[in-house]
Amino acid sequence: MAHPSWQRSLGICSHEVQTVWLFFLHHFLLGIGTILVYVSANLMLLENNPETSLPLAYGVAAIATILVGKIYTYFEHHLTMPRLTSLRKNAL
């Protein structure tokens, strides 16, 4: 079966099209949800003391993002796949 040009340019095999489409849809909807939360949070912060709460919220969000990234990096490098699967089996 011939690949359409967009599949060929992205390096997607014909048996991967459904999986790639589902990942795209998942990330798209996740992005929409993130935007809705972001806009709602900004509106609430701007409604109540925007000169103090908005910069504080951005600072706390930046620090939290850095901390979560560091924690993720630590576990990404220290936990192997067999260890992760055994942790998941034990949790269930």
* Tens-place pLDDT, residues 25-69: 999 999 999 899 888 888 887 887 777 777 888 888 889 989 999
- Identify the domain containing residue 40 by its residue range: 1-47
Same-domain status, 15 and 32: yes
- Give 38 or 88, the one with higher predicted confidence: 38
Q: How large is the angle between the packed helices 50-78 and 17-47, nearest 10 degrees?
A: 150
- Give 78 or 67, the one with higher predicted confidence: 67
Same-domain status, 40 and 58: no
Amino acid at 68: V
Same-domain status, 35 and 56: no
Same-domain status, 65 and 80: yes
Give the pLDDT confidence score for residue 39 in this predicted structure: 87
Mean pLDDT of the chain: 82
